[in-house]
Amino acid sequence: MKKILNTLFVTLPDTYLSLDGDNIVVKQEEAILARYPLHNLEAVCTFGYAGVSPGLMGACASRNIDLTFMTRTGRFLARVIGESRGNVVLRKEQYRISDDDKRSALVARNMIIGKIYNNKWILERATRDYPLRMDTDRMKKVTASLAGAMQQVREVEDLDILRGLEGAAAVQYNSVFDELILQQKKDFYFHGRNKRPPLDNVNALLSFAYTLLSNDMKSALEAVGLDAYVGFLHRDRPGRASLALDVMEELRGVYADRFVLTLINKKLIHGKGFYRKENGAVIMDDDTRKIVLKAWQERKQEKIIHPYLNEKMSWGLVPYSQALLLARHIRGDLDEYPPFLWK
């Protein structure tokens, strides 16, 4: 399995990134802030309006380093993509599946099974670990209904029915998500998902974590030669990385939601680190964003055993390994797409 390399996050808005030899050089008004060799990086992610030289864009594209631009609040703006990797045959097959509703449904339903399975496991694990701190009866009811939903999804061959079941399962899971927040309840609570803009601290964190995960997912898909913008479950829309969103479904819970819960429950972040704009949007301040990014990077280094590949790897490689398995399925080497079922 490949090695996970580092990601450089640039959160200072008045910086300029350029290329010098094989180094990325970060400048702030002509003063050099930092210099890193490119071969140690796999992604560069900028927040705010950091400028980048065309030379560096080219170097990143040719070395398959993912260069992403986001707003200060973490909303995705653009990314630099080089020549498509992998082979055309694989991508054409991907497009064929995407055009065929039934074949799309067969792949997408495995992803949804993965999602429901993982979310159910998150709830079961929490109920087992903290039986006295949550409404166990309510949790048991939800996990039972998730188990039922999983049974139904297994049989579905129609995309719209699949979307309906997925939505219903998400509503169930969201209805008890607040129970999983064990600390700092005054500042962190979950009364339902809202986005664009997020209206409370937890939703702001979730949105940010999903953006980070989708960036990792997009570059993983491109790295194995798939087109991140052509999906099976999510419909095509210009600028939307539908396939990345598809594969992300199974990872949202175990990867992003649990990450957010850890930040809150371990008190790594505090309510003071968030502020509200006039339109109600909740935004984290610069220090909090740095804490979140640091924790995200550290999380990526943690080791797990991949349940399907049975191989020890870091969490950061899970998006890549799922992209690899999906490519193998599309190529015909695997009869079905094996979702990531967390243990």
Residue 145 sits in the site that holds other proteins (CB under 8 A): no
Shortest Å distance, C-beta 300 to other proteins: 9
Binding range to other proteins, per CB under 8 A, among 21-29, 126-134, 277-285, 325-333:
21-29
Shortest Å distance, C-beta 297 to other proteins: 4
**336 annotated as ligand-binding:** no
Q: Any idea which residue has 């609570």 for tokens?
A: 189
Q: For residues 246 and 231, what is the distance between their CA atoms, to the nearest angstrom?
A: 7
Shortest Å distance, C-beta 140 to other proteins: 39
Q: For residues 83 and 62, what is the distance between their CA atoms, to the nearest angstrom?
A: 8
Binding range to other proteins, per CB under 8 A, among 15-23, 62-70, 98-106, 171-179:
15-23
Sign of the CA dihedral with 327 first, then 328, 329, and 331 last: positive
Work out which of 10, 97, 105, 317 binds other proteins, going by CB under 8 A. Answer: 10
Residues contacting residue 100 through CB under 8 Å, at least 6 positions apart:
none
Picking from 342, 112, 332, the residue whose alpha carbon sits closest to that of residue 231 is 112
Comparing CB distances to other proteins, the nearer of 1 and 12 is 12
Span 221-260, contacts to other proteins by CB under 8 A: none
Work out which of 176, 264, 293, 330 binds other proteins, going by CB under 8 A. Answer: 293
Comparing CB distances to other proteins, the nearer of 6 and 265 is 6
Comparing CB distances to other proteins, the nearer of 52 and 228 is 52
Shortest Å distance, C-beta 253 to other proteins: 24
**329 annotated as ligand-binding:** no
Shortest Å distance, C-beta 6 to other proteins: 6
Residue 185, Cβ neighbours under 10 Å: how many? 10
Residue 7 sits in the site that holds other proteins (CB under 8 A): yes
Shortest Å distance, C-beta 170 to other proteins: 31
Query: What is the DSSP annotation of 204-243?
Result: HHHHHHHHHHHHHHHHHHHHTT--TT--SSSPP-TT--HH
Comparing CB distances to other proteins, the nearer of 24 and 180 is 24
Shortest Å distance, C-beta 215 to other proteins: 15
Residue 36 sits in the site that holds other proteins (CB under 8 A): yes
Which tokens belong to 254? 């175990």
Work out which of 102, 154, 185, 290 binds other proteins, going by CB under 8 A. Answer: 290
DSSP alpha helix (H) spans, the chain: 54-62, 88-99, 101-129, 136-155, 159-177, 201-223, 242-251, 258-265, 286-301, 318-331
Size of the site for other proteins (CB under 8 A): 26
Which tokens belong to 285? 């301040």
- Assign 343 to helix, strand or coil: coil
Residues contacting residue 261 through CB under 8 Å, at least 6 positions apart:
180, 181
> CA Rg, the chain, in Å?
20
Work out which of 1, 37, 148, 183 binds other proteins, going by CB under 8 A. Answer: 37
Q: For residues 170 and 174, what is the distance between their CA atoms, to the nearest angstrom?
A: 6
Q: Which residues bind other proteins (CB under 8 A)?
A: 3, 6-12, 15, 21-23, 26, 33-37, 39-40, 290, 293-294, 296-298
Binding-site entries for Mn(2+): 166, 234, 249
